[in-house]
Structure 1
Amino acid sequence: MHTIDAHHGGHGDGRGGNGRPADGRDGGGRNGGAGRAGPRIAVVGGGIGGLVLAGMLHRHGIAATVYERDGGIDARAHGGTLDLHPESGQRALGDLGLADAFGAEARPEGENLRILDAAGRTLAHHAPEPGSGTRPEIDRGVLRKLLLTTVPGAAVSWGRHLTGVEQRPGGGHRLAFADGGRAECDLLIGADGGRSRVRPLLTDARPEHLSVHLQLTVSDADRARPAVAAFVGPGSVMALGDDLNLGAQRSGDGTVRVSVTLRADAGWLDRQRFGELSWDATVARLHGLLGGWDPGLTGLIDACDPGSLVARVIEALPVGTRWPSRADVTLLGDAAHLMPPVGEGANQAMLDGVLLAHAIAGDRDDPAAAIAAYEAEMFDRAESVGAESAMMETMGLAPDAAERVASFFTQR
């Protein structure tokens, strides 16, 4: 539950180029499945959840077109690592036939976690024996590339930033993209993150501000900053106190990502004007947030690459968000149940993807029943997981967070 979901609220990455469906039409193709035509399915967002859904539909012989905002797999940084859970993320990979491939790429040692207080004292240390861990880590970029192997290349349309959705008089939707392109579909699935453009078709619920997250990087830590690499170890460290969370996590590519999460109002980031500060002034301001903390912890800030600060707000949808079911549109992942980034977001999106695909495949003649069944399970599951995630987020930024979080992990 310690992973920060660095891609909180957006589309996933593409694989290069501005590909269009192979049939030449700018829209979802008629679905296969024993040669029988089916509804045109459009998946908005090629992130982890959207790719799981598209890959699982393909395994069922059902075509779908994924519309992804980014122009390529390396169009931007992928963020950190994810700990995949047996009952959700790993289950999805198993259903997709990727269990062995995941095992070859995963980092079991990434489960190593130390929890410290602001004085630098270790209060808890989770270090599973080799082979005994249940939630191995995998770099987000590696996972996306793995998922892309399950989706036909012609089924993904890259560089497609959704700007509008219009209800068609005869049913379904007409989609408009920033590049001027258009597409039509019978079933629209929003997998487009916390700021989903599809969600307003179903509910007026909006994400609520929770906190602020500042992330920095230490590139090639083993070579460039061996002391930092040794301190962080193979997994991550989390230091808590003074309503702050200072974290550091190793990725498989040798990068260490350092983060500071704090309880602050929605306008705090704008008032900081980080973009106008020199790097030395930025580091000094971060040190000001951690005044009185152990120098061994605040030294993580000093070790980070100049100019590497990425700042964002943390938001979540109200726990228990639901909507009346419709046969022509639904949501998955952050679009459906945006949660605090405490390790559940990607896992739940992956589980959403496989369960929605199974529902559609299991009731091909009644899409309304398939969507309703998927949403009924998803709503209950998301409410339960969302409530626990909200509790973890509150606990992690409490004045006595170090003791409470250490006790929580020790009991588990």
Structure 2
Amino acid sequence: MVESQVRGSPRRGLVSATLGFFIGFAGVVLYGPVATEFKSAMGLSGLALGALVAAPQLTGSLLRIPFGAWVDDVGPRRPFLVLLGLSIVGMAGLALLLTVFYPGGLTMGLYPLVFLFGALSGCGIAVFSVGTTQTAYWYPKESQGTVLAVYAGLGNSSPALFTLALPIALGALGLTTAYLVWFAFLVVGTVAYAVTAVDPPSFQLRAEGLDPETSEARAREHGQELFPGGDAFASVRDAASIRQTWVLVALFFTSFGGFLALTVWLPSYWVSIHGVDVQSAGVVTAVAFTLLAALIRIPGGVLSDRIGGEVTAVGSFLLVAVAAATLVVTRHYTVALGATVAIAVGMGVANAAVFQLVPAYVPEAVGGASGLVGGLGAFGGFVVPPVLGVFVDVYGTSGYATGFAVFVALAVVSVALSERLYRRQPTTGPDAVPADD
């Protein structure tokens, strides 16, 4: 009998997951950086604009739940490719729609189609929970905070780069051609993931016909310490039965949902409140917020491993609350820029802290927990922008600043929840035992 072989390595698993996430996650900013183009062409209200820029987050958040759980059944590679394939369909539809109707024919009557194609394009965003699980299963428990922060931090950088590139491409190529180039990027990136991705050891061994007990024992020899239950629905049920899972969902709603919301909303804020042009608004948003919040996750993960995710979360959400309150009242450009940087740091580090806690609190159902936390938490990226749009409809242009009161409230609640986790579970290392209260 030929001995079963395990292909790949933890590094390859991390690199391929990060690549796939980078490709799919760019869909976050499908409409945000050029929102004013769609607003003027279609005559959108603040609420309609907020819903449109958030459209990719609808599928990008909710699909994380079933697809994150599906990983525990079939491994991460197949769910990754399905989600990226759906994103390709959405981007193709949007590019075709713009080719036929933009600019003169892109009216409010086409809003449902524009929203639909945006939602389909957002399916690639949902690979976050799939890649999180892929990375977690490749690495030992004591490295989770660091490697998950590297995965999320580098993957999260794509919205920042596209926030920079899309307005520039708009000026150089026009809106339709810019989206055609994006479509090509998505196709090439999906093929690259398909070529490089390998499932974690236990899934490879199971695919070769080994029974679960044998495959787990063999996988441990290759460094795998976290294992799936093999039942997607059971994984979600197990995670949902642990109360701390829902606390983590609430925290991620503020940190990651808030990150998504501000990534698509800040360009409009800079244009409307501070009078900058569209390209400059994209640069400020990308550099001062999106890219910084993404990359700061990496040291944030290291910090969480060292001092605990709960303590890290408390400090991060306090920073978000203070910075958001500043943006409510200030109209000074430099002060607003500093507050934006502070929110980026707070949200980025908090994102790392929350996912450092997922394997610690829910080690027996990482896939299901990643789906619930990543999916329902990221749903904030769809819920918050329309709420911000209501502030604009009610208060006019000043509503772009007044709306930051939403983030003040969310951050204060998150501080309280993080502090409660700290009091009930002060240690979160690999040997910690979660209190199932």
TM-score, normalised with respect to structure 1? 0.35
Q: Which has the higher strand share?
A: 1
Higher RCO (C-alpha 8 Å, min separation 6): 2
TM-score normalized by the length of structure 2: 0.33
